[in-house]
Structure 1
Amino acid sequence: MDLDDTTGPVLSEPAPDGDLLGGVRDFLRGFERRQAERVVEFPGGFAVLSPRYAASHDHNKLCFRGAVTADDLADMERGGWRGALPDASPEVVEQLVDRRRARTRAADGVVFLAVRAGGEVVARADLYLDPARGLAQIEDVLTEEGHRDRGYAQALLRDATRRAHEAGCATRFLLAAADDWPQVLYGRLGYRVIGSRHLFARTA
């Protein structure tokens, strides 16, 4: 499992070029490994665990590499829409896929999270941050059917929740269908129902 994310810039003086940035990232990964009491390897990533400092996110976290863009998620999303809307035209499917790019402007902070297996995105989640108001929304948590029951969605949710906390967003929320199973997972992770939102669609 390889968990990827969009990240803020790693700053250096002078501003990093590609080689320097890679060196900085390698250093940080090594730093995280060396201070950990236990390291659990994943393909392309690892987790650091230090029970002695159980309250410290810095000592108990998933470490991953690379930035995820809307383009990286396009193939997974395109396949999902083709399965959900088999009669939709290619133009409609592309509109549904392309609208994710607009989401990069939708909040002060936008983070796309993904799990890769064999180089392909097999699970994803979005995180939208509004630190000024202390709010964060987690959205579009999804795992490809052939890769479910491996803990990917839970790992993404935990990571999104941690990132929101570190960004100063004390209130983290998500939207879930009242009659669908994901709400059970959200409840296990500490989320609770605070209200309802109704959507209406014209069918003809």
Structure 2
Amino acid sequence: MSYHIIKSIKVDEKEGKVYITGADNNVRPRTPHRWECTSLSQILVEQGREAVDLEILEAYESGDFQGGNNKWTRALVVLRRMPEYAQFNWRGEPYDEITERRKTPAFKAILKKALETKLPKAKFIITKSTNMGTKVYLKKLTARHVFWSPVREKAKIFRFIEDTEDVKRVFYGSNSWAWAVEQVENNQRRGI
């Protein structure tokens, strides 16, 4: 499946144009370039800014757009944790019914709600004590490994407490580990 690797998206309401900087995943070399997305520009002119925002979020949600750190990727994080999203999640079963539900105004309403919802201010890190009694912090997470660091500033930040529980569930035998989850205050670590 082909998708766009997004670096940035600029919605210029004065000109009525939407510019995307990015690259296609299946073209080598992956040199980002800037282009006007005419379909999104047309939506901007005909339906307004809110409709463009919903269309961009839907492109991220469907996997057509990936990457970047912007309001749409943050809304996607919120969307995937909304309980009402489960009935519209295209990864679920039965696929045909879900596809039909995604065409309803209720799906657009959930996308809009996700765009309007801010990420929670609470941030969490995972810690554990080593056999020597030293406290270490989860630094990096891969599909098969957890990397720990004794330096708190290098700890991986989780925005949702549920994400920390997911990490514990993924690793076999992690129930016996003496894991702890700490909430991080905004002034405790710069850049969090």
- Global fold match (TM > 0.5): no
Q: TM tier, shorter chain?
A: under 0.3
Higher relative contact order (CA 8 A, sep 6+): 1
Q: TM-score, normalised by structure 2?
A: 0.27
Bigger radius of gyration, 1 or 2? 2
Q: TM-score, normalised by structure 1?
A: 0.26
